[in-house]
């Protein structure tokens, strides 16, 4: 139905939309997709012709409902494949994204629904991001970042804000994984670094930079 490239543009624009009504800029899309502004303008015209977004010269773009639908379905496929790669094939959470970038473009509604069923209808991907349903509905996560949690409160590591490979590798290295039980035992006023208790056993220190990028519930 839609090309590889079209789906990638729609996904990028969807992620850059903050629903402020303000259009997504050409440059921000170019930066996000590692391409040039001129290429973005070309593609925007094409997507506009196909009614996937609204475009006014020099004013940026906004996805139409149709455009949002395609973006959300692509995200759904991406995240379901990530679960498969992590749960079944035992890929690390820092490895799944790149492969899912390819798998998300496989065209078959039936495939993704059967895969979803095979995986037991997961609600979140290996980074804690919610998986939209077949009809595109997101269940709100309501996670908070670890640097806002008060001392002595038990929480569960439920997601990350930074999805970069180095960050995910770092968390793995210090034994922080999704689903982990943790408790803040000390907050250092000076640099807002934290001392944590993992699974009621091991104590570790993390910087505020790390804490800000961890989501818990």
- Residue ranges in contact with its own copies by CB under 8 A: 85, 88-91, 99, 102-103, 106-108, 111, 114-115, 118
Q: How far apart are CA 211 and CA 213, in angstroms?
A: 5
Residue given tokens 């408790």 in the structure block: 183
Q: How far apart are CA 171 and CA 8, in angstroms?
A: 28
Q: How far apart are CA 8 and CA 50, in angstroms?
A: 15
- Residue closer to its own copies, measured from CB, 13 or 168: 168
Q: How far is the CB of 26 from DNA (least distance, A)?
A: 4
Instruction: Report residue 62 as tokens.
Output: 């906004």
Instruction: Say whether residue 10 binds DNA (CB under 7 A).
Output: no
Instruction: Say whether residue 32 binds DNA (CB under 7 A).
Output: no
- Residue closer to DNA, measured from CB, 32 or 180: 32
Instruction: Candidates 54-62, 102-110, 157-165, 174-182: pick the segment binding DNA (CB under 7 A).
Output: 54-62
Indicate which single residue of 12, 14, 16, 60 sits in contact with DNA (rule: CB under 7 A).
60
Q: How far apart are the first and last CA of the chain?
A: 39
Q: Which residues pair with 186 in a beta bridge?
A: 195
**Cβ distance 214 to 170 under 8 Å?**
no
Applying CB under 7 A, the site for DNA has a residue count of 25
Residues interacting with DNA, by CB under 7 A?
Answer: 3-6, 25-28, 35-46, 55, 57-60
């Amino acid at each position: 139905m839609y090309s590889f490239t079209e789906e990638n543009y729609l996904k990028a624009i969807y992620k850059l939309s903050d629903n402020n009504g303000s259009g997504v800029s050409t440059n921000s899309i170019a930066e996000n997709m590692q391409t040039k502004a001129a290429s973005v303008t070309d593609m925007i015209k094409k997507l506009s012709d196909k009614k996937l977004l609204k475009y006014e010269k020099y004013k940026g773009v906004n996805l139409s409902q149709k455009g949002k639908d395609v973006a959300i379905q692509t995200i759904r496929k991406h995240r379901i494949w990530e679960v498969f790669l992590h749960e079944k094939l035992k890929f690390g959470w820092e490895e799944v994204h790149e492969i899912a970038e390819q798998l998300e473009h496989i065209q078959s509604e039936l495939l993704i629904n059967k895969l979803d069923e095979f995986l037991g209808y997961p609600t979140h991907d290996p980074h804690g991001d919610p998986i939209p349903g077949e009809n595109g509905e997101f269940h709100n996560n309501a996670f908070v970042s670890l640097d806002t949690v008060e001392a002595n409160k038990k929480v569960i590591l439920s997601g990350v804000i930074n999805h970069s490979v180095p960050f995910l590798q770092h968390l793995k290295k210090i034994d922080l994984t999704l689903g982990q039980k943790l408790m803040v035992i000390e907050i250092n006023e000076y640099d807002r670094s934290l001392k944590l208790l993992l699974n009621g056993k091991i104590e570790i220190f993390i910087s505020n930079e790390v804490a800000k990028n961890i989501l818990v519930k």
